[in-house]
Structure 1
Amino acid sequence: MINLICNLFLKFMRLINRFQGLAVATALIALLGCSPAVTQVPTPTTEKPLQPTPIVPTSISPHLLLGNPSSATPTKLTPDNYLMVKNQYALSYNNSKGTANWVAWQLNKSWLGNADRQNNFRPDDTLPTNFLRVTPTIYSGSGYDRGHIAPSGDRTKTVDDNSSTFLMTNMMPQTPDNNRNTWGNLEDYCRELVSLGKELYGPLRLP
């Protein structure tokens, strides 16, 4: 009799254990099924800040040894202060005026030689395509000379050097008297200083 009671008790406990396990499993399923869906929160996008206009180091050219007078940059975002660096000189181009704001060039004996004056006035094809490209004929009948800023006589080492001074970006309208006398005499004086071993840079841009 006692054995029968013990067997019934053990079966009863096993049945309880099974129900407990089933209850736990059911509870876990319910919890998993009712848990809120995980939603991915989109990462907010931030606009990149505008990059500042790059500062062109004066070491980019020997002609800018004394500085960049107007802080010109080689970007189309500043069309009226557009930096152009050539082997023979550097300049800031003003697209609204079609002339240079300034031209800077180094002058020493290394730039002087026996190359002839080329007289090949022409537009500057290195300007951006949407920029004003002044042609030599624009001066015709105006009463003004196509006046060099960086002088032809300062670039006589090679034909290419001299030819580069005839680009229209290196021209400024000058009255004949100023171009051929006052300005011309200043150019001659500068080359006299070079013959004495001096090294010159120009121009000086005053505020």
Structure 2
Amino acid sequence: MSKITFGLVAAAGAATGAVATAAFYASRKDAAIPTTPTTATSTSPTSAPTPTSPFAPAPRSQPPPLAPAASAPVNPTGLFQYGFPGPISDLRPAPSLASAYDRRTRNPAWVAEHITPASLAANHADRRNSAFVEDLSIPEKFRGKLKDYARSGYDRGHQVPAADAKWSQEAMDATFALSNMCPQVGEGFNRDYWAHFEDFCRRLTTTYPSVRIVTGPLYLPRRDPVDNKWRVSYEVIGSPPNIA
């Protein structure tokens, strides 16, 4: 087809489309626009909902139900009746903290705590009565285990420190669950800089009446000296290796 013939065909097609479009909008303009009656409604004041305890078990998020199209021969979302693949964090409310657990790294994704001058002034717990424990609220195949830290070269590093939860023995015990731990270098970090940072957070209560702290691990990229590219890499400990 020559360029001239192609141009004539394109022009004719454009003209036909313009006429059809004009006719379509003209017919829509002539059609009556249906109206719906309006009704007035009255509202009455309702009482405020009763707040729930911050330590009540949080409901696990679930995927929205998806209905397959009527003509679809398959239903991929039917898998959800056996469980949602995730990722869904295990929410762990406790008297002294609230946290989300990452099953992939066997570490907390984040841990939140709340301290006040009054909570730090209380002294109703003894660290010697607490012990490191596995978090039984997490499925056995995904929880961190005491043996994973044995001879690993890393400390079981508190995210919420035990010293922040002296207001009850139960509160302090909750900080010793492995779901509140991350592997930390002991000498020079967990027993040095990290301890100083925990003390800094506590001293904030001398200025502020209420302090909220969110803690968690960061997996940061580093430049590879060989090819000058950025990569995220980290050691994995445990038996078998599963704690990042």
Q: TM-score scaled to structure 2, two decimals?
A: 0.50
Match of residue 170 from structure 1:
180
- Using the TM superposition, give the Cα deviation of residue 198 of structure 1 relative to its aligned residue in structure 2, in angstroms: 3.3
Closer, same or farther: CA 110–62 of 1 in aligned 2, 3 Å: farther
Q: Which runs of 5+ in 1 are unaligned?
A: 1-58, 64-71
1:97 equivalent among 100, 105, 112: 105
Q: Secondary structure at the match of 2:196?
A: helix
Equivalent pairs, count: 140
Find the aligned partners of 1:147 and 1:183 in 2 and give their Cα distance: 9
Query: Percent sequence identity over matched residues?
Result: 31
Q: Is contact 1:74–1:84 with CA below 8 Å preserved after alignment?
A: no
Q: Which moved more, 1:140-149 or 1:188-197?
A: 188-197
Q: Which runs of 5+ in 2 are unaligned?
A: 1-50, 62-82, 219-244
Q: Which moved more, 1:75-84 or 1:163-172?
A: 75-84
2:89 equivalent among 72, 81, 87: 81
Q: Is contact 1:88–1:105 with CA below 8 Å preserved after alignment?
A: yes
Q: Is contact 1:73–1:82 with CA below 8 Å preserved after alignment?
A: no
Aligned pair 1:199/2:207, yes or no? no
Report matched runs for 1:16-31 at 5 Å. Answer: none
Q: Is contact 2:106–2:142 with CA below 8 Å preserved after alignment?
A: yes
Q: If you compute each CA radius of gyration, which structure gives the higher value, 1 or 2?
A: 1
Match of residue 179 from structure 1:
190
Find the aligned partners of 1:179 and 1:103 in 2 and give their Cα distance: 17
- Using the TM superposition, give the Cα deviation of residue 204 of structure 1 relative to its aligned residue in structure 2, in angstroms: 6.6
CA RMSD of aligned residues (A): 2.9
Match of residue 152 from structure 1:
162
Q: Is contact 1:119–1:163 with CA below 8 Å preserved after alignment?
A: yes
Aligned amino acid, residue 135 of structure 1:
K
Report matched runs for 1:129-140 at 5 Å. Answer: 129=139, 131-140=141-150
Q: Secondary structure at the match of 2:142?
A: coil
Deviations 1:50-98 (A, max 9, x none): xxxxxxxxx86659xxxxxxxx973574355232222221111111111
Runs in 1 of length 4+ with deviation above 6 angstroms?
Answer: none
Q: TM-score scaled to structure 1, two decimals?
A: 0.58
Deviations 1:13-37 (A, max 9, x none): xxxxxxxxxxxxxxxxxxxxxxxxx
**Structure with greater helix share of residues:** 1
Closer, same or farther: CA 61–173 of 1 in aligned 2, 3 Å: farther
